Amino acid sequence: MSDETGMEQKVTLVTLVDNRPGVLNRIASLFRRRNFNIDSLTVGRTHRQHVSRMTIVVDARLANVNIIAANLRKLVNVIEVRVVSDEPHVSRDLALIKVRTDDPESRNMVTEICERYPGRIVDMGVKVAIVEVTAHEEQVEAMIEEFRPIGIVEMVRTGVVAMGRGIRIQDTQYEPPQMRAGTRDNGVQQNIL
């Protein structure tokens, strides 16, 4: 990711997978048995009913990213793999951070930090507040560091999601063969691009 500094060796892969039970398990099992370390893995649906999309961040110092990609491609349910960190891309991480706000000073500090980052207070209570931040992973981390001295009491992060910039679209016309056989309702969306 941070190509500017060259300090980190994180590599981001985006995979399109068959949206079926057990596919996440197949990918997790592959990483475990090949001894590849996952930094983060997110999975979610796409605009296509039968396709899910995963963003996987790995530390490339520990494994050859081409070998990881080749192994992912071997999985029958993996439709496409792209190393998006090799190209211009947008990546985002979302965090919900619950911080202590039980005195005026901490409340002011939290408000002030949120003004300097793409964060906002989504729940303000007497003792704690929840801050939501959606940003590049490093920015999220910097924000967390600022909250730390105030007192983080609970936190969750989604992990990185990423998308290549521009017109190189990562999409598929995939539909499962059973659907083509007409044994079930054909609810596949057409590719509008």
Binding site for another protein (CB under 8 A): 17-18, 22, 25-26, 29, 33, 64, 66-67, 70-71, 73-80, 172-174, 177-178, 181, 183-184
| Helix spans in the chain (H) | 23-33, 65-74, 104-116, 137-147, 177-180
Count helices and strands in the chain by DSSP H and E runs: 5, 9
Q: Which is nearer to another protein, 178 or 190 (CB)?
A: 178
Q: Which is nearer to another protein, 3 or 185 (CB)?
A: 185
Q: Which is nearer to another protein, 79 or 133 (CB)?
A: 79
Q: Which is nearer to another protein, 83 or 97 (CB)?
A: 83
Tell me the closest approach of the beta carbon of residue 22 to another protein, in angstroms.
7
Tell me the closest approach of the beta carbon of residue 96 to another protein, in angstroms.
31
Tell me the closest approach of the beta carbon of residue 34 to another protein, in angstroms.
9
> Which of 74, 11, 92, 16 is closest to 48 using CA atoms?
16
Q: Which is nearer to another protein, 32 or 45 (CB)?
A: 32
Q: How many CA atoms lie within 13 A of 125 on its CB side?
A: 7
Tell me the closest approach of the beta carbon of residue 53 to another protein, in angstroms.
13
Q: What does the alpha-carbon distance between residue 83 and residue 80 come to, in Å, rounded to a whole number?
A: 10
* Residues 27 and 17: beta-carbon distance below 8 Å: yes
Left, alpha or beta for 15 (phi > 0: left; psi -120 to 50: alpha)? Answer: beta
Helix (H, G, I), strand (E, B) or coil at 188: coil
Tell me the closest approach of the beta carbon of residue 162 to another protein, in angstroms.
20
